Each structure stands twice: as structure tokens, then as C-alpha cells.
Amino acid sequence: MYDVVSQYEGIVFGIQFGKQKFHGFGVTINWIKQKKILELPHWNNNLLLHNLDVMYIEMNMFENIFNMVMDVKRKTKDNMIARIDIYLLCHCKNIELVYDGSRVAKPKVSFALNKNAQLLVYQCLKSLCFPNGYASNISRLVNMKDDKLFGMKSYDYHVFIQTFIPLAYQDLLSKGI
């Protein structure tokens, strides 16, 4: 791919792609933007140029959803910068930052569980049992003292996204979420 893209020098990608005339454009070559990744020095040595690991994406999705709903300190994506972005882009009044004199406070969001609901989720995880070979022994991965999960394998994340999250949060979260 790098060789094909690099042979078309002098082409302005993007804005005026319809006005450009060269052999093959619009038939075999349909790029209208040149990505910055192609300018990296090691890019032409890559064998797999667009290799996305689905299990890694599922792991990131699970951790983001789980940590945000369980309100795990220093692991959630719900921080001050995100709240400022919500104020600027979404105008959601119920989760905007609150200024009270000398400090800034984050109001609790509706999708974060309270301590009792979090305890129910961790107790459910502690008692969870899957068929042999389906997933890891999840009860060993739950630390009830610190209220956290640890040591999950990539397939465990897949199982959790597919089966556990829809069932576990079904009755604990409000209906609009």
C-alpha cells in the first residue's frame, strides 16, 4: 500500500479530489485523504497495515464500561476534562461541574452505581460459576476487600461483554441507560 500511495506525489488529497484527473482515480484508487500514519518511518516495513485485535478492543470496552458504572477511582473515564467537554458539547445540565465558592465538584452521574449496588455486583461475581472450559474461575478474580477485579484473560472480557454486563446491570441501572 505504501508503494502505491507514494507513487502519486503532487496530489492534493481531500478538498479537490473530484477535480483531479490521473489514470485510475475513482476506478481502482479511491483514496481521498492521505493519513498521517503513512508518514511514519516504519510504515513501509509493516506486513499487516490495518490489523485490529478484536479481543483487545473488547478488553478496553469492558474496562471502560465496568470502571465507569462501578465508579472505580482513578480508572474511570469520567474526569474533570470529560465533564468540561460535556458542558461544551452536550449541554447536559444534570452532570455539569458545580462551582461552590473555592472548589469544583463533580455531581454523581446516573449510570454510576452506589456502594450497595456495587457490593451486589461483586457478590454476584464472587458466586458466578461457568461451565468448565467456558471462562476462567471468575470467583478467584474478585477481590471483595478492595472491590475490584484482577487477572482477567482476554476471553473473560468477551464473555463478560456478551453475557454478564447485560444481565448484571439490567435491574441496577435506570431504564434510560
**44: which DSSP letter?**
G
pLDDT at 92: 78
Task: Examine the pLDDT at 31 and tell me if it is beyond 60.
Answer: no
Domain ranges of the chain: 1-51, 54-78+110-168
Give the containing element (helix H, strand E) for 81: helix 80-89
From the list 70, 82, 74, 89, the residue with the least C-alpha distance to 106 is 82
Q: What is the mean pLDDT of residues 37-47?
A: 68
Whole-model pTM: value is 0.64
Q: What is the mean pLDDT of residues 147-175?
A: 81
Phi, psi angle pair for 104, to nearest 5°: -115, 135
pLDDT tens, residue by residue, 51-110:
667 888 888 988 988 888 888 888 888 888 888 888 888 877 778 888 888 888 888 888
Q: What is the mean pLDDT of residues 132-155?
A: 83
Judge contact between 143 and 150, C-beta under 8 A: yes
Phi-psi region at 53: left, alpha or beta (left = phi > 0; alpha = psi -120 to 50): beta
C-alpha cell at 102: 473555592
Rounded CA-CA distance 75/70 in Å is 10
Report the b/e string of 128-139 with b at 16+ CB within 10 A.
beeeeeebeebe
* Length of the chain measured in residues: 177
Give the 3-state DSSP-derived string for 16-75, with helices as H, strands as E and coil as C. Answer: CCCCCCCCCECCCECCCCCCHHHHCCCHHHCCCCCCCCHHHHHHHHHHHHHHHHCCCCCC
pLDDT bin (cut points 50, 70, 90) of residue 15 is very low
pLDDT, the chain, mean = 76
C-alpha cell at 142: 474478585
Task: Specify the amino acid at residue 52.
Answer: L
